[in-house]
Amino acid sequence: RAEIGNALRSMHHEEDTKLMLEMGVNAVRLAHYQQAEYMYDLMDQSGIITWAEIPFIGPGGYADKGFIDSEAFKKNGEEQLKELIRQNYNHPSICFWGLFNELTERGDNPVTYITELNELAHSEDPTRLTTSASNQNGGLNFITDCIAWNRYDGWYGGMPDALAKFLDQTHNQYPQLRIAISEYGAGASIYHQSDSLKRPNPAGWWHPENWQTFYHIENWKIIHERPFVWGSFI
């Protein structure tokens, strides 16, 4: 938020929760790190299914890898996962423990470590599912109880119908895999309006609302038509 960044107060968490309920949200991914205790309380009170996760995040634009195979790195991640679970175990809204976001197998391969985190999560809490948010192919997608993908078809490139092709191909190839969409979306501004429907440059300054509306309608249609997709998160 303007002027306070991510140092939210209780009133801001309440505002966010009211907006979620107004939208008809029934699940939320609290990414990419542990949230304020009050936020979990609000999810409990609102009956919103919650995905809580540790900040084990891929390289993005900051480095060439998200995992460093060192004892210090691994111990830090294990400690954060234990703290996340032990501090929030009694929140009934939490159904998923998230283990990573957009990791790659480039550089130090994280598959063995993710497997260790998955086992740790199950030993700490055998009652809940583990999941992760991926944007890569590879063995890291077959470790957690279920897996989700970050997809922005029709925003960073292509058109929304590419999502349908991806979901169908993935399900046909791995029918046993429990899959979801952990991120999707398109930028827009209430001050940007256009009569023509054209995908804007995501890195540009012009993001008209009509493309965002089209994007969400098409993506939701694709997701809704596929019962093998267990959830989607905007």
Beta strands in the chain (DSSP E): 27-30, 49-53, 94-101, 129-134, 147-150, 179-183, 229-232
Average pLDDT over residues 12-37: 96
How far apart are the C-alpha atoms of 39 and 45, rounded to whole Å?
10
Percent with pLDDT over 90 in the chain: 90
pLDDT tens per residue, range 85-143: 999 999 999 999 999 999 988 879 999 999 999 999 999 999 999 999 999 999 999 99
Residue 153 has pLDDT above 70, yes or no: yes
User: For residue 176, is it left (φ>0), alpha (ψ between -120 and 50) or beta?
Assistant: alpha
pLDDT, position 62:
60
Lowest mean per-residue pLDDT among 56-65, 156-165, 196-205: 56-65
Percent with pLDDT over 70 in the chain: 98
pTM over 0.85: yes
Task: Using pLDDT thresholds of 50, 70 and 90, give the confidence band for residue 60.
Answer: low
CB 197 within 8 A of CB 145: no
CB 38 within 8 A of CB 13: yes
Residue 170 has pLDDT above 80, yes or no: yes
Task: Using pLDDT thresholds of 50, 70 and 90, give the confidence band for residue 61.
Answer: low
pLDDT, position 31:
87
All structural domains of the chain with their residue ranges: 10-232
**Angle at CA of residue 151, ends 96 and 164, nearest 5°:** 105
pLDDT, position 63:
66
Mean pLDDT of all residues belonging to the chain: 95
pLDDT, position 151:
97
104 versus 187: which is more confidently predicted? Answer: 187
Catalytic residues: 102
For tokens 């997608």, what's the residue? 141
- Partnered with residue 94 across adjacent β-strands are 50
- Specify the CATH number for 10-232; select among 3.50.50.60, 2.60.120.10, 3.40.50.2300, 3.20.20.80: 3.20.20.80
